[in-house]
Amino acid sequence: MKIVIAPDSFKGSLTAIEVSDAVEQGVKIAYPEAIVEKIPMADGGEGTLQCLVNATKGSINEKEVIGPLGEKVIASFGLLGDQATAVIEMASASGLPLVPIDKKNPLITTTYGTGQLIKEALNHGCRKMIIGIGGSATNDGGAGMVQALGVHLWDKKGEEIGFGGAQLIRLDRINVSEIDPRIKKTKIMVASDVQNPLCGPTGASRIYGPQKGATEEMIVTLDHALNHFANIIKRDLKKDIVNVPGAGAAGGLGAGLMAFLNAELKPGIDIVINTVQLEERIKDADLVITGEGEINGSTIYGKTPIGVAKVAKKFQIPVLSISALIDESGFIVKNYGIDYLIKPENPSMDIEFPKSKKVELLKNTISEFLRKTSIIK
């Protein structure tokens, strides 16, 4: 009997590795003789770097970069086991957790540090990159990122514009002649499930600006600035990215990556599934156990449990999902390959609850369910 455990993290509570370990303990109580394979997962957001590094026996490196507010921060990037592929989480260098609540201001936050991480990966010889762009504190269209890579963004006086989304309105001319030449030889895949265009009522500023501290006045300013940026890109680079799905991801970083780095935006879960070789590792399993912190109506849109379930169903393998929370809309996942949906009866899985207790809850919930249910035939 083989059981594959492939969950995402319980965000802010347990990492995917910790969830996998807890579930394994529960499985071993119910089925002591089972062969268990743990494959901690992610979908392009938090934990993607660690997930892919662990799966490929890679390494994590640190680099001092410019943070979202222009200060120095220590950011991380991963080298996969092939030593040729880098994994970057933009949030490590330009993410919202790096900005104190009282200093949130997307008018001034920059992606410069993300560009520095890309440059450092190039210095390590990487010619393939996977970039997760969730959790940004920025709304600068990736302007800071490309400046870090040698692109000149000049105003009417021929001077470099400053950091932040508001500075884009000053942009008069783009010069890419000094962009790092290694970029042209590098394949960049961007892990993002966001389909928003760059501007407008469903664009980066309007939809995601408020969580970054944008007021209504700021949103109008930022949307206007991004639209101006897109117009200059179209004129100088001959690339029309304003309405491309995903251009609005991470405050327009999606647009910047596509326009300047020829990056390809792909669903994060698909990138992870391919990198960890999930299909090959899952095909002979008798049961697959997945999960994430909360199952709700949005889970069907590119989240880990559904991605794992789709792979399992290629081989007619039953799928069990465990989560801390399941709201009423979450049961829709049963139409997308998940056969069993469970959560601990004790609801105390919030951040303040001791980690050891959370592990115990997951372990007991899994073991009790497996012992009472003929899930494996």
Same domain, 288 and 232: no
Residue 227 lies in a domain: yes
Domain boundary among 268, 303, 329: 268
pLDDT at 346: 65
Closest C-alpha to 133, from 24, 213, 252, 218: 252
Same domain, 198 and 336: no
Same domain, 90 and 26: no
The DSSP H or E segment spanning 321 is strand 319-322
Helix (H, G, I), strand (E, B) or coil at 198: coil
Cα 335 from chain centre? 25
Q: Where are the alpha helices (DSSP H) in the chain?
A: 16-30, 48-56, 90-94, 112-123, 143-148, 204-208, 216-237, 249-261, 268-275, 278-282, 304-313, 355-372
Domain boundary among 268, 288, 312: 268
pLDDT at 356: 85
Domain boundary among 211, 242, 268: 268
Same domain, 257 and 117: yes
Q: Using CA atoms, how far apart are residues 201 and 315, in angstroms rounded to an integer? A: 42
Q: 131: which strand partners? A: 88, 190
pLDDT at 377: 66
Instruction: List average pLDDT for each run of 10 residues in the chain, which is 377 residues long.
Output: 95 89 96 96 86 93 97 97 95 95 97 98 96 94 98 98 98 98 96 91 96 97 98 98 94 97 94 94 97 90 93 97 91 94 74 79 94 82
Residue 143 lies in a domain: yes
Residue range(s) defining the domain that contains residue 25: 2-41+277-372
Same domain, 291 and 307: yes
Q: Position of tokens 């890679």?
A: 58
Cβ contacts of 367-373, under 8 Å, gap ≥ 24: 367/25, 367/26, 367/27, 367/29, 367/30, 369/320, 369/340, 369/342, 370/26, 370/27, 370/30, 370/31, 371/29, 371/30, 373/340
pLDDT at 288: 98
pLDDT at 225: 98
pLDDT at 351: 53
CATH number at residue 105: 3.90.1510.10
The DSSP H or E segment spanning 38 is strand 35-38
pLDDT at 367: 96
Residue 300 lies in a domain: yes
Q: Using CA atoms, how far apart are residues 124 and 118, in angstroms rounded to an integer? A: 10
Q: Tokens for 48, please give them.
A: 């993607």
Q: Using CA atoms, how far apart are residues 341 and 322, in angstroms rounded to an integer? A: 6
Residue 306 lies in a domain: yes
Q: Using CA atoms, how far apart are residues 106 and 214, in angstroms rounded to an integer? A: 6
Same domain, 187 and 215: yes
How many domains, the chain?
2
Q: Using CA atoms, how far apart are residues 375 and 372, in angstroms rounded to an integer? A: 9
Residue 377 lies in a domain: no
CATH number at residue 364: 3.40.50.10350
Pairing of the two strands 85-89 and 72-79? antiparallel
How would DSSP label each residue in 71-104? -EEEEEEEE-TTSSEEEEEHHHHHBGGGS-GGG-
The DSSP H or E segment spanning 320 is strand 319-322
Residue 249 lies in a domain: yes
- State the Cα angle at 199 between 187 and 271, rounded to 5°: 30
Q: Tokens for 119, please give them.
A: 């440059």
Residue 288 lies in a domain: yes
Same domain, 85 and 188: yes
pLDDT at 347: 58
Amino acid letter, residue 152: H
Q: Tokens for 198, please give them.
A: 């760059």
Q: Position of tokens 């993410």?
A: 95
Cβ contacts of 280-283, under 8 Å, gap ≥ 24: 281/4, 281/37, 281/39, 282/4, 282/6, 282/39, 282/308, 282/311, 282/312, 282/315, 282/317, 283/314, 283/315
Burial class of residue 353, CB neighbours in 10 A (0-12, 13-18, 19+): middle
